[in-house]
Structure 1
Amino acid sequence: MDGIPPGAKELGVHPTEPLPQPDPEPAGRHAASDPEPTPPPARPRRPLPRLQLGRRLRVLAGVDERLLDRVPQERAWYTSLGGVVLGTATIAAISMYFAVTQAMGAASWLAVFPVLVWFLFILNVDRWLVSSRLGEGWFRRVPVLLMRVLMAVFFGVIIAEPLVLRIFETAVVQHVADQRTEALAQLAGRLKACNPVPGSTEPAAPADCRATEVFNFDQSPVAILRELQTRRADAAELQKIVDADSAQLRAINDLARRECVGDSGEGLTGQRGVGPNCRRLRAEADAFNRTRQIPANNTKLAGLRTRISELETAAGTSHAAFEAERETKIEARVAEERSHQGPIGLLERLGALHDLADSSGVLAVGIWAVRIFFILVDCMPILVKFVGGSTTYDRLVSAQLAVAERDLNHEIEAEYAEREAELRKRRAEIDLEILEHKAELNHRLHRAADRLSDRV
């Protein structure tokens, strides 16, 4: 429990009562028997590692720290320049990530590899642009600066485009979706035009319809329509015959009626009653009716009309089935085309961005403003290098390079002189050896001559 010293309960002491203290031992005996221990030496603290962020940023600017130590006032300048280089490389990496994910249609860890490669590449390119010298004098600086600015602008255009697409992504994606919807609607209309319903008021199929745009139907009203057309023609022809025969039969019957009732007129006797002419005219009417088969033709015409009615009903049903099958096939083709569209790719986004810029002047100005902004951001390292001009560190680098070049020339000249001296020494030694050899030969010749003269 809180406030209770350890072991208080074992001694039977109440928490509010003071603990019994042991009798103090004599100071001498305590000192003699139990010397006071010395505390162990404290371990030295390990210093925390320093990040040295400024030095690391200056590495990105290509600075020699030993030479920069001579002008420490310019450390802030080159630290800021390294930060600009790091910033542009980071923006380039973000741009590459957007480009890769837009090309793939989805975010993936595979985008890390090209993003990292692009980051290191832009980092080294910008480091080279700001670390190398521009030269002395305008005639030397302008060509180099122009080349570097063109490189920076070129890379800036590449880097800026994915970022512009990302900023205007909502409008771009909506435009691409509208384009895809319109393309599918045009496809559906094209398929419908290339597969008109036979016998309907729809126009005939265009002549440029491709084989892939023409469907094969399980049921077609063509046969029914052909039969219906034939039956209608037969009915119309038979109707004409029946109408003509009926009119002629009515004329004969009317003439017979008038003869029988005693009407006067051309071809009539004018005598009332059923006389010879009345019976003859009636007989002609009966004979005409039997010969021309008017009742049979009427029965046949009624059958044709019944069949035509049945065919019209069947044609309507067939038309509906044809249209339903056509709609089903069109929907299937449109669904297949939609499945082929897939995620929105980089090329579609670029095309949509171009279309949006062409359709709206205000949007075009905004797109170009963002694009130019990112291009200038990517050109920042070389622009900062140029605007800053030649610094004391740059002059020290130039002087150091001049001294190194002069020292190298001196070393080359000294080495050449040493080789020349060695060559001359070698030639002198060879000449001395030749003279010694000649002297030895002369000495031998004289000794031989002396021995010969002694013998003589």
Structure 2
Amino acid sequence: MTESTVELPKLGTTDGEPSHPLRPDGPAIPRQRAVADRPAPPDAGPAVLPRRLVGIREEVLDWVPEDRPRYTRLGLILVNTGLMAAISLFVALRRVLDVPWPMVVPIALFWGFLVLAIDSWMVSSTHGSLGRSRWLMFVPRLVMAVLLGSVIAEPLVLWVFHPAIHADVEQDRQKQVRIQAGRWTLCNPADGTDTTSLPECRDYQLGIKGPAAQEGELTRLTAERDALDSEITKLNADLAGKQKFAQDECAGVKRGGTSGRAGKGFRCDSAWKVADSFQKEVDLPGKRTRAAVLDQQINTLTSQLAASRKAHGATVETAIATKVGDFRGSFGPIDIIDEARGLERLSDRSGFVHAAQWLVRLLLILVDSLPVLAKIFSGTTAYDVLVNRQLSAGQRFHGRSLDVTDYTFEAATKASIHDIDERSRAQQERLDEDLDAEIDRRAGRYAAGMT
């Protein structure tokens, strides 16, 4: 089979001279405006590249060159969406990875290329769709565009509110540091008070033992000194009473138990013996000496305890400073998660920030979804109609080509079978002739032998 081409005559031409069919005597109309002069000359300018991104076939678009600007701008929208995606990932990775920015650029460019390829597929796959099927194709693509736009928009939203977010994150971190310092200080008093029984101090124990032994010894000595003071006071009162009784007995003072006779006699001596015996028995001088020793020990231990408490307080303060410093160092650089939480706190505190961040986010999502939206808003273009007809024609041509192929193969098969049958019949005839000749030859030989 040989391919043949049929050259169609151009409308509006007379003897090779271009003219308008309705105005043969009028001035020539420019090629781009002449409806009859189609297809238009191919466009070899830079505008072809954006149209290729949206899957435009220039040989079809040449029949409706009026749609060239529309699809050129649609391709530029795709390029802008890809650039926004690359910038968005660049901003996000700069907050997540602690690497030089040139190392992030290839990853961001790859992400932008990926988004560009996805948007290109979403737009190009709708060319030629007409009627109800057009909307059935657009709905899932629009949903995908919105989801993709949401992912791209979030880092850019954080970038827009970057100064306010960073200030809020710094304030929140300082607040957390103050809270931690307060808890460690509360649960680890400088005087060494035991706070292990407090539920809020369960995870905030330094494990540094204070001067508890000295405090216990001081408490014991103080209790012993107080008890000894009470005992001495009582014994002094008892001794003073007995000595007063002896004085009254010797002086002849008449009161309960005394004889009322003055002078040094048996009763006077007995009264003084009782007083002296009591004083020796209770050992008041020894008790007073012991009280003085306890006072000296208490004073010494009090001075030592004050120094120990001061040293313990310094140790606890240093340990708390270390714990708080470790907590402060655990924050690290402000990343995208910290920024997201900061924006959430700002939105909770300010209705203006809440509305503004959602307006920015929706605007970015809308911009990221523009390729599909622009295709939807463009409606059914003349290019779509031509592509639809070409797709239908292509399907018909393909079916007919298959029919021709089937018919050709079937005809060739029948011809081959017929040829095989003919050759088989001819071969059988030759075999029959050879057999007859052999029979005749043998019959002649037999007849010759009989004679």
- State TM-score, norm by structure 2: 0.83
Asked if residue 322 in structure 1 is aligned to residue 312 in structure 2, the reply is yes
Asked if residue 363 in structure 1 is aligned to residue 356 in structure 2, the reply is no
TM superposition shift of 1:452: 5.2
Q: What aligned pairs does 1:94-113 form with structure 2 within 5 A after superposition?
A: 94-104=87-97, 108-113=101-106
Asked if residue 119 in structure 1 is aligned to residue 123 in structure 2, the reply is no
Q: Is the deviation greater in 246-255 or in 101-110?
A: 101-110
Q: What aligned pairs does 1:255-404 form with structure 2 within 5 A after superposition?
A: 255-404=245-394
CA distance in 1 between counterparts of 2:361 and 2:192 reads: 58
* Counterpart among 56, 62, 67 of residue 60 in structure 2: 67
Q: Say whether the 8 Å CA contact 2:86–2:111 is kept in structure 1.
A: yes
Matching residue of 2:26: none
Asked if residue 176 in structure 1 is aligned to residue 169 in structure 2, the reply is yes
CA distance in 2 between counterparts of 1:160 and 1:290 reads: 99
Match for 2:181: what amino acid? A
TM superposition shift of 1:410: 2.5
Matching residue of 1:232: 222
1:236–1:391 Cα change, 3 Å: same
Q: Say whether the 8 Å CA contact 2:126–2:137 is kept in structure 1.
A: no
Matching residue of 2:46: 53
Q: Is the deviation greater in 323-332 or in 411-420?
A: 411-420
CA distance in 2 between counterparts of 1:134 and 1:289 reads: 124
State the SS of the aligned residue for 1:269. coil
- Deviations along 1:188-219, whole A, 9 cap, x unmatched? 2222233234565x866525645x743244x7
Asked if residue 214 in structure 1 is aligned to residue 205 in structure 2, the reply is yes
Q: Say whether the 8 Å CA contact 1:92–1:122 is kept in structure 2.
A: yes
State the SS of the aligned residue for 2:330. helix
Q: Say whether the 8 Å CA contact 1:263–1:272 is kept in structure 2.
A: yes
Asked if residue 432 in structure 1 is aligned to residue 422 in structure 2, the reply is yes
The unaligned stretches of length 5 or more in structure 2 are: 1-42
Q: Say whether the 8 Å CA contact 1:160–1:374 is kept in structure 2.
A: yes
Matching residue of 1:245: 235
CA distance in 2 between counterparts of 1:317 and 1:79 reads: 85
TM superposition shift of 1:313: 2.2
CA distance in 1 between counterparts of 2:143 and 2:79 reads: 20
The unaligned stretches of length 5 or more in structure 1 are: 1-49
Q: What aligned pairs does 1:82-97 form with structure 2 within 5 A after superposition?
A: 82-97=75-90
- Deviations along 1:80-131, whole A, 9 cap, x unmatched? 1111111111111111111111112576211112101111001111111111
The sequence identity of aligned pairs, in percent, is 31
CA distance in 1 between counterparts of 2:46 and 2:219 reads: 93
Matching residue of 1:417: 407
State the SS of the aligned residue for 1:341. coil
State the SS of the aligned residue for 2:169. helix
- Deviations along 1:266-306, whole A, 9 cap, x unmatched? 11112223333222222221221111111121121122122
CA distance in 1 between counterparts of 2:268 and 2:127 reads: 134
- Deviations along 1:345-373, whole A, 9 cap, x unmatched? 12222222223323333322211111111
CA distance in 2 between counterparts of 1:297 and 1:146 reads: 103
Q: Say whether the 8 Å CA contact 1:134–1:145 is kept in structure 2.
A: no
Q: Is the deviation greater in 418-427 or in 50-59?
A: 50-59
Cα RMSD over matched residues? 2.3
CA distance in 1 between counterparts of 2:365 and 2:187 reads: 50
Match for 1:349: what amino acid? E
CA distance in 1 between counterparts of 2:46 and 2:158 reads: 34
CA distance in 1 between counterparts of 2:263 and 2:295 reads: 42
TM superposition shift of 1:242: 0.8
TM superposition shift of 1:135: 5.8
Q: Say whether the 8 Å CA contact 1:59–1:82 is kept in structure 2.
A: yes
CA distance in 2 between counterparts of 1:416 and 1:260 reads: 159
Q: Is the deviation greater in 344-353 or in 246-255?
A: 344-353
Q: Say whether the 8 Å CA contact 1:148–1:382 is kept in structure 2.
A: yes
* Counterpart among 156, 161, 165 of residue 154 in structure 2: 161
Matching residue of 1:133: 126
Q: Is the deviation greater in 328-337 or in 58-67?
A: 58-67
1:105–1:372 Cα change, 3 Å: farther
TM superposition shift of 1:386: 0.5
Match for 2:253: what amino acid? D
Matching residue of 1:39: none
State the SS of the aligned residue for 2:253. coil
Match for 1:366: what amino acid? A
Match for 1:69: what amino acid? D
CA distance in 1 between counterparts of 2:322 and 2:242 reads: 67
Q: What aligned pairs does 1:169-208 form with structure 2 within 5 A after superposition?
A: 169-198=162-191, 206-207=198-199
TM superposition shift of 1:137: 4.7
CA distance in 1 between counterparts of 2:126 and 2:199 reads: 69
State the SS of the aligned residue for 1:53. coil
TM superposition shift of 1:134: 5.8
Q: Say whether the 8 Å CA contact 1:199–1:225 is kept in structure 2.
A: no
Match for 2:161: what amino acid? F
State the SS of the aligned residue for 1:335. helix
- Deviations along 1:129-176, whole A, 9 cap, x unmatched? 111226645531223211101111111110111011111112222222
CA distance in 2 between counterparts of 1:161 and 1:199 reads: 51
Paired residues, number: 404
